[in-house]
Amino acid sequence: MSTQARIYWLAIVAAGFSVCAFVLSHWRPDPQDLPRLGLYVLAALTTSGLKVRLPGIYSTLSMNYVFIIAGLLDVDLGGGICIGFACALGQIFYKFKQRPQLKHVAFNLAGISLAIFAANFCFRLPFIEAIDRFHVISLAGAALTYFTVNTAVLSLMIGLTSNRPALAVWKESYLWSSPQYMVGGVVAAGFQLLMQRIGWAGMLFAFPAIYLVYRSYNIYLTKLDEQQKHIREMAALHLRTIEALALAIDAKDDTTSAHLRRVQVYASAIGRELGLSSVELQALETAALLHDIGKLAVPEYIISKPGRLTPDEFEKMKIHPVVGAEILQRVNFPYPVVPIVRSHHEKYDGSGYPDGLKGEEIPIGARILSAVDCLDAVASDRQYRKAMPLDDAINVVIDESGKSYDPKVVKILHARYRELEAKAKGDTADVAKVSHNIKIERGASPATGFAPTTTQMLTDRNFSLSISDARREFQTLVEIANDLGSSLSLDDTLALLAVRLGKAIPHDAIVIWVRHEDVLVPRHIKGESYRLFSSLRIPLGQGLSGWVAENHLPIINGNPAVESGYLNDPSKVTPLRSAIAVPLDCRDRVVGVLTLYQLQADAFTPDHRRILLNISAKVGVVIENALRFEHVQDAARTDELTGLLNSRSLSEYLAKEIDVCAQRVVRMAVIVMDLDGFKKANDEFGHLAGNRVLQAVAAGLKICCRSNDAVARVGGDEFVLVLSDPGDYLTTALDMISEMGRALKAEGVANSAVSISAGCALYPDDAKDVESLLEKADERMYEEKRRRNTAAARLPSRLIPFPTDRAQMQDLTESCGESSVA
């Protein structure tokens, strides 16, 4: 029970038992009345089983109240209270389904004491007795007074414990039974006359009449219960329909699911505080879930757009209240949902849409919904901005009080927003969701087959010509890009494009995103927030640039803070305030996004968008062809099986590294390796097994590399590791290679042992050019391999650390017969 309910319980119990104590302390029963009183008590207890369950509440109504009224007529007030206690206890404890608690028993006894006292007072009013010789008026008044007091006491307690209006409880559960009390009063009067005329035998005539009344009400209430059960089932069906429609909205816009449930929690609480009827509350709660269903008619790219809408897009968005009302009109809800949905974007000052209603013309449910909808939307993350703190969001609503929103609604919302927020978080913990990112395995192709693929792969022969042609066309069509054809390098091309755009469109940062499968990767970045943009990887459809890539549409003056990676990450903050982005298309496919950012809000104009759209298609072609050219170059520089540098790339890399080492006056180590026993294993177990060994060795050598080192495959089973400025790391690398050799020898390839032989040469100690370094390292590797083969039967292989100068190398060679690594 709430605090109010506890206080009320205490007041009723105190008043009831005080009245009872006062009456019984002054009661002096006539000894001749005691037998009749005993008969009344016995009859009350006997008829306690004739009780019917009241609709809508956990309570029953028994026919023994007839004997309470008869006892008032035939005995006196004290006797009536005794009979009332017997009736209450019999009704509570006879065939009870749930063991009653002491507080319930005390409350019922106190309530019936007050009802009997009030009925006796009404029955014995002097002015009524003066004009009512046959006690018709006084009897009717006593019966109605007993009914009113008894049911009012119970209704108020039920209302306080169930958070429902007491009057609504009384009307729903008790008002319909008032005629029964009038009939009961007539039966009580007749019963009292029979008792006076023929004594206790008159009670036998009363039971059939009482049972007839009970039976008629029992049949009536059974049918009523069946009807209410059907109504509850239909209400549950309506509720499931509502939830299904809400899920349909969620399938269109997955940011709305929790939003709708939260709005429902807020709106329902405010509606109760404003005193809305149960029908109005049902309509409001339903509209809270369904007010955005009209967005099913709005294109998805408009709903999920992470920026301001254009006038045309806003015109399309404004239809959703009307469409939502038309959809729900067909559902034929038993409460007024449609007007709320249609008017939830009306404003209190009349500046809203679709009908321009103002003030009290707007349905109260729509006025509640619009204010609550605004608060939750501002306090939630959206595609076009981050969420505001709740305290800041409520200030936005308060600022619009009297303009957009009803001041009465805003006042309640301001007073209770923290409490309702806590409740909303609890109620939205298990919101149902519609599956989005799922894959259906079955279904190889549509019934009509797939559309033919029109993409034509360019050959190596015409790559340069294709790129040059595309860039020459780009030069002639767009003045801003007149120098783009000067390089086949994608990085050089994008850098040149950024320079040209800087002169045409002022900006503080530029990012050119390139698409890799379903992710945008920053390929060229210049300007403000360089480090932050470098760290971002944007999935298609997320953030500002991801939205542009997914929908093939430009955006102007979007919010840079919603780029995927900033959102909900307080450690990533950018001072940039506006962005313009266009998709870079090639052959009906987005290959990237060109995005410019400004520190000022609303910094870009439609002219800027027009310029970028004019060049976007050509830039897309340039990027696509340059990426293919890079792919061909990468394929020519790397070994296809292992992904390592090939022989040609190794020579180029060594030549550059020798120049760098000469300038910095540092060493460089070149380690040449091959696999002992590999040919035998390859011949015996096949090329697939051999390929797996080569890939495993390549993976191990990559682990040996630092960020400035390189590893290459220069022959069938020959590898080269280049360590720039090795220092102490040379010993570590040799240890790792030796461990790899031992592991291969221990495990073997299909039971055939394979190991590693290696030789090392240093720049500039052993040689100063590429060929001499490789030749020296190769010579030491074969020398070591011969020594190991000769001494294999005598000594186990062991690791000898590589010497740091020639003197140590010579001493080691003279003193040591074999080593696994020279």
Predicted local distance difference test score (pLDDT) of residue 11 = 93
pLDDT-wise least confident of 382-391, 424-433, 605-614, 662-671: 424-433
DSSP string, 491-535: HHHHHHHHHHHHHHS--SEEEEEEEETTEEEEEEEEETTHHHHHT
Architecture of domain 3-226: Orthogonal Bundle (1.10)
Q: How much is the average pLDDT of 521-528?
A: 88
- pLDDT at residue 23 tops 50: yes
Q: Which helix (H) or strand (E) holds 719?
A: strand 718-724
Q: Please report which confidence band the pLDDT of residue 811 belongs to, taking 50, 70 and 90 as the band edges.
A: very low
Q: Please report which confidence band the pLDDT of residue 675 belongs to, taking 50, 70 and 90 as the band edges.
A: confident
Distance CA 461, CA 663 (A): 39
Q: How much is the average pLDDT of 334-359?
A: 92
Q: Are 817 and 791 in contact (CB under 8 A)?
A: yes
Instruction: Give 75's strand partners.
Output: none
Predicted local distance difference test score (pLDDT) of residue 475 = 44
Q: pLDDT tens digits, residue range 4-22? A: 889 989 999 899 889 888 8
| Closest C-alpha among 385, 373, 74, 55 to residue 227 | 55
Three-state SS at 674: strand
Q: CA torsion, points 172, 175, 176, 177, in degrees to nearest 10? A: 120
**Burial tier of 473 (Cβ tally within 10 Å: 0-12, 13-18, 19+):** middle
Predicted local distance difference test score (pLDDT) of residue 459 = 40
Instruction: Give 53's strand partners.
Output: 60
Q: Please report which confidence band the pLDDT of residue 367 belongs to, taking 50, 70 and 90 as the band edges.
A: very high
Helix runs in 132-256, H state only: 136-162, 166-173, 178-198, 202-252
Predicted local distance difference test score (pLDDT) of residue 500 = 76
Q: How much is the average pLDDT of 97-115?
A: 82
Q: Are 477 and 496 in contact (CB under 8 A)?
A: no
**Which of 232-236, 258-262, 293-297 has the highest mean predicted lDDT (pLDDT)?**
293-297
Q: Are strands 589-598 and 509-516 parallel, antiparallel or unpaired?
A: antiparallel
Selected residue with higher pLDDT from 691 and 572? 691
Percent share of the chain, pLDDT over 90 = 15
Predicted local distance difference test score (pLDDT) of residue 348 = 93
- pLDDT at residue 575 tops 80: yes
Predicted local distance difference test score (pLDDT) of residue 202 = 55
What is the gyration radius of the CA atoms in the chain, in angstroms?
45
Number of helices and strands in the chain (H, E): 30, 12
Q: Are 601 and 557 in contact (CB under 8 A)?
A: yes
Angle at 491 between CA 490 and CA 496, to 5 degrees: 100
Predicted local distance difference test score (pLDDT) of residue 726 = 85
Predicted local distance difference test score (pLDDT) of residue 180 = 65
Q: pLDDT tens digits, residue range 758-778? A: 899 999 888 888 889 999 999
Q: What is the mean pLDDT of the chain?
A: 76
Predicted local distance difference test score (pLDDT) of residue 491 = 78
Three-state SS at 53: strand
- pLDDT at residue 366 tops 90: yes
Q: pLDDT tens digits, residue range 157-194? A: 888 887 778 888 787 777 766 666 666 666 666 666 66
Q: pLDDT tens digits, residue range 623-658? A: 887 777 766 666 667 887 888 888 888 888 898 889
- pLDDT at residue 581 tops 90: yes
- pLDDT at residue 585 tops 50: yes
Q: How much is the average pLDDT of 120-147?
A: 72
In the chain, where the domains are located:
3-226, 253-427, 460-635, 647-815
- pLDDT at residue 672 tops 80: yes
Distance CA 365, CA 287 (A): 8
Q: How much is the average pLDDT of 701-714?
A: 84
Q: Are 398 and 322 in contact (CB under 8 A)?
A: no
Selected residue with higher pLDDT from 667 and 129? 667
Three-state SS at 592: strand
Selected residue with higher pLDDT from 323 and 383? 323
Predicted local distance difference test score (pLDDT) of residue 640 = 78
| Closest C-alpha among 422, 481, 447 to residue 614 | 481
Q: How much is the average pLDDT of 777-785?
A: 88
Predicted local distance difference test score (pLDDT) of residue 395 = 92
| Closest C-alpha among 650, 656, 690 to residue 671 | 650
CATH superfamily of 460-635: GAF domain (3.30.450.40)
Q: pLDDT tens digits, residue range 493-507? A: 788 778 778 877 889
Percent share of the chain, pLDDT over 70 = 72
Selected residue with higher pLDDT from 391 and 817? 391
- pLDDT at residue 331 tops 70: yes
Q: Please report which confidence band the pLDDT of residue 109 belongs to, taking 50, 70 and 90 as the band edges.
A: confident
CATH code that applies to domain 253-427:
1.10.3210.10
Q: pLDDT tens digits, residue range 446-487? A: 655 554 443 343 344 344 444 443 343 334 334 444 555 555
Helix, strand, coil in percent for the chain, rounding step 5: 60, 10, 30
Q: Please report which confidence band the pLDDT of residue 582 belongs to, taking 50, 70 and 90 as the band edges.
A: very high
Q: Compute the Cα dihedral for 394, 400, 405, 407 and give only its sign.
A: positive
Q: How much is the average pLDDT of 730-740?
A: 80
Three-state SS at 1: coil
Predicted local distance difference test score (pLDDT) of residue 472 = 39
CATH code that applies to domain 647-815:
3.30.70.270
Selected residue with higher pLDDT from 248 and 252? 248
Q: Which helix (H) or strand (E) holds 463?
A: helix 463-477
Q: Hey, how many other C-beta atoms are within 10 angstroms of the C-beta on 410? A: 24
Q: Which helix (H) or strand (E) holds 815?
A: helix 806-815
Q: pLDDT tens digits, residue range 419-452? A: 888 888 776 555 555 555 556 666 655 655 554 4
Three-class SS of 328-376? HHCCCCCCCCHHHHHHCCCCCCCCCCCCCCCHHHCCHHHHHHHHHHHHH
Q: Which helix (H) or strand (E) holds 702?
A: helix 687-704
